Amino acid sequence: MTDSPAIDTSTARGDWRYAYRNPLDSYLLLLVMVSLAILLLGLVDLTGENLAGLLVTALVGAMLTVALRTSNAPQRLVVAAAALATLTVAVHSVAQLAGIDTPLRWLVLTWFLLTVVTPGFVLARVLFHPKVTLETIFGVVCVYLLSAITATFAFILISRVGAQPFFGEPEPTMSFMYFSLVTISTLGYGDLAPNGDFGRMVAAFEAVLGQVFLVTVVARLVSLYSGVGPIRRRRASSDSADE
């Protein structure tokens, strides 16, 4: 019985090795962008008329587009995300030039819809890696941080469309990013707290989801990555020598 000929799938877009031949398919690049987006969202008030807010808009749009592209999302979705990102930057730019308030509700709704689906594509991509590498670890960390950004936009949206502010009193948008990070990490400083029932449930869901993700997916992948490190290889070599 003859063996079937091997098929070289290394050039396929769905193959994990494709990431190392395309600069966009790098979770390290995405991790840098996500970290920078979190930093700016925590420092810049998006409601003000400033160029920093426009920079945040452009960065968030680019981050989401790169995340979907990196995770081999359907091409139509990547193109749609890029188009929406470009549109949000254009709207924000027009608002800046016209000297009017930024349409924050529309911008945040757009970002929220994109960030809801993006972590799922990133997670699906990294979980199907045939081998746990640094790119895999970077990918799951991106999912964790993207979830915090998603919750941030959800909190801002609740505050904007609800009958009362999310925290009971108006707060700058930086407070929502800070609150999301404190919530997902379960630090719970207590200086900010949701005022309504729905907001409290969303915050609690973020905290539970974040911890479950850390102790299951992240911990498991990190253990698999460390399991093929130099220590285990040395032990395997020692065992072979003893035999």
What are the residue ranges in the chain where pLDDT is below 50?
Answer: 1-21, 23-24, 228-236, 238
Q: Decide: 157 and 105 in contact? Cβ < 8 Å.
A: yes
CB atoms within 10 A of CB 243: 5
pLDDT tens-digit map of 179-227? 999 999 988 788 889 988 999 999 999 999 999 998 998 888 888 876 5
How much is the pLDDT for 26? Answer: 78
CA within 13 Å, CB half, 196: 14
What per-residue confidence (pLDDT) applies to 1? 43
Q: Could you give the dihedral angle defined by the CA atoms of residues 214, 220, 222 and 224, in that order, rounded to the nearest 10 degrees?
A: -170
Q: How far apart are CA 164 and CA 171, in angstroms?
A: 12
Q: Which pLDDT score, from 0 to 100, does residue 242 have?
A: 53
Amino acid found at 192: L
